[in-house]
Amino acid sequence: MNVAHDLAAFKHMAAELQDYLLSSTLFWQMQASSDFPKLSLGMLLLTQARLEGADSLLSQTQRAERNATARQVDATLGNWQVAAEKKAAQEFRSRVNLWEQYWNDCREQPVTCADNYPQEVTQRVIAGLLLLKFPRLLDSPEARSLEALDRLARARLVGGRWIWPPDLQPGFPEAEHWYLYGLPASLIG
């Protein structure tokens, strides 16, 4: 993990968050380096969670910058709560649909499914982060779809070992992010 890169991305996301929330765009191309991800609420939350998970890698100055940026994000989300909830609902729908498509593809191509799991699980991670930040999403039809997909994933995952870079593990406890602690059966061996 490149904490300096993630911190710079997080700061750019926070700076453009209000414009993003007031736009009609779901995945916002930031006015920054092209190697930064597109801004979405889910990507912002994922970047923040990655930085919190890698806290031990941050200098005192970087921690202070992360914390100040997190406060800026919270203030912007608080000021534009209705717009933020609308964006969160749109992105949650998108992430659940992508996660469902991944599992549908698994039925057709089990080998590809297993190979792609560590990258594709990002959709589930972001959906979970959106649920934590915007609990009203729990009442959506997509939340019920996600519950069904979770039952499927729990039945397919084995191993119980962390699958992302070790530096990130502290930010994603197994109780909340169980889907990062196993692989589809065909990857184990």
User: Tokens 């962390």 sit at which residue?
Assistant: 162
pLDDT in tens, 97-140: 999 999 998 888 877 787 889 999 999 999 999 999 999 999 99
pLDDT above 90 (res 32): no
Give 28's strand partners.
39
Residue type at 154 in one-letter notation: R
Is 161 part of any domain?
A: no
Is 185 part of any domain?
A: no
Number of domains within the chain: 1
- Per DSSP, the residues of 121-156 read HHHHHHHHHHHHH-GGGGGSHHHHHHHHHHHHHHHH
Q: How far apart are the first and last CA of the chain?
A: 26
Range of the domain at 94: 1-155
Is 12 part of any domain?
A: yes
pTM, to two decimals: 0.92
Q: Are 76 and 20 in contact (CB under 8 A)?
A: no
Write out the two tokens for 142. 């997509």
pLDDT of residue 78: 96
17's enclosing H/E stretch is: helix 3-21
Is 74 part of any domain?
A: yes
Is 90 part of any domain?
A: yes
pLDDT above 70 (res 151): yes
* Dist. CA 52–CA 54, nearest whole Å: 5
